[in-house]
Amino acid sequence: MHEAQNENPCSTEARMLWESHPDPAGRLFFVLNSLQERHRFISSEAIDELAREAGVERDEVESFVRFFDAYSLEAVGDCLIEVCDGTACHARGSNRLLQKFESLLGIREGETSADGRITLRRVHCVGSCSSAPVVVMGDETFGKVRVSRVCDIVGRAMRDDTD
């Protein structure tokens, strides 16, 4: 409050989210999920602010953020391609799909394309095992994906970007 005028907007946002979830159970998840969804990364200022609100060391919040696959400390792309690598998908060749995505996008799993638009991730089971192997892009789930279809999905990702 004492530095309200020149407070970083990230800190303000984090504090407002924190205050909007009065129940302490699940509070940190709520704030971080919201921040990750809005900005596609968790800023250092937000971590500082959350540590202050929770009354814990900064390290503790940062370890929490680092612990979970969904949070990132650097921005991920607008378009997130997630290749499911659950047991059923794996047994049906999800690593070949991943390889194909990597070679088409020119990035490794977990990385973001040079223009910062597309991020490729390997995720653990999305629970759609009956249509293995599965690729998730935004709200869309592609089932029974074959290596030859990866090209279409990438094409779509690039088109979506330019809209």
Partner 1 sequence: MIRTRVIRDLADAGALQLSSYPRVTVGMGTCGKAAGSQSVYDALAEALGSCENVRLDAVGCRGTCWAEPLVEVHVAEGSSILLGPMTPFKAKKLAANLRGCNPSGLDIACVTRGLSSCVLAYDDVDAFQERVLLEDCGKVDPLSLEQYCALGGFSAFASALLKGDSASLFDELERSGLRGRGGAGYYAGAKWRAVANASAERGEEAVVIVNADEGDPGAYMDRNLIESLPFRVLEGVMLALVALGSGQAYVFVRREYPLACVTLQRAIAILEEAGLLGDDVLGSGRSMNIGVVQSAGSYVCGEETALIAAVEGRVPRPRKRPPYPSERGLWGRPTLVGNVETFSNVPLVFMRGASWFSSIGVPGNSGTKVFSLTGDVARVGLVEVGLGTQVSRVVLNIGRGEDVKAVQIGGPSGAFLPAHAFEMPLEFEGLAAAGAIMGSGGLVVLDEGRCVVELSRYLADFSARASCGRCPACRDGLRTCADLLEALTEGSAFSGAIAEIELLIQRIKEGSLCNLGKSAVRPVSSALFHFREEFEEHEIGSCRAHVCPGLVHLEIDQSKCQGERCCLRTCPGAAIKGRFGKPGTIDTNLCLKCFTCIDVCPYGAVVIAG
Kindly state whether residue 126 participates in binding partner 1, applying the rule CB under 8 A.
Answer: yes
Q: Please tell me whether residue 159 binds partner 1 under the rule CB under 8 A.
A: no
How far is residue 21's CA from residue 30's CA, in Å, rounded to a whole number?
Answer: 8
What is the H or E stretch that residue 118 is in? strand 118-123
Query: Which residue in 75, 80, 107, 125 binds partner 1 (CB under 8 A)?
Result: 125
Is 105 an interacting residue with respect to partner 1 (CB under 8 A)? no
Q: Which of 8, 12, 48, 54 binds partner 1 (CB under 8 A)?
A: 54
Q: Is 75 in the site for partner 1 (CB under 8 A)?
A: no
Q: Which is nearer to partner 1, 2 or 111 (CB)?
A: 111
Query: Does residue number 124 form part of the binding site for partner 1 (CB under 8 A)?
Result: yes
Q: Contacting partner 1 (CB under 8 A), which of 16, 19, 20, 29?
A: 29
Q: Are strands 135-137 and 140-142 parallel, antiparallel or unpaired?
A: antiparallel
Q: How far apart are CA 79 and CA 59, in angstroms?
A: 30
| Residue 112 β-bridge partners | 119
Binding of partner 1 by 55 (CB under 8 A): no
Residue 123 as a binder of partner 1 (CB under 8 A): the answer is: yes
- Say how far apart CA 108 and CA 101 lie, in whole Å: 9
Task: Please list, in sequence order, all residues whose beta carbon lies within 8 angstroms of the beta carbon of residue 62, skipping any fewer than 6 positions away.
Answer: 47
Report the C-alpha gap between 94 and 125 in whole angstroms.
Answer: 11
Q: Is 96 an interacting residue with respect to partner 1 (CB under 8 A)?
A: yes
**Residue 24 preceded by cis peptide, ω within 30:** no
Contacts to partner 1 by CB under 8 A: 23-30, 32-33, 36, 54, 60, 63-64, 67-71, 85-93, 96, 99-100, 103, 123-132, 134, 141-143, 146-148
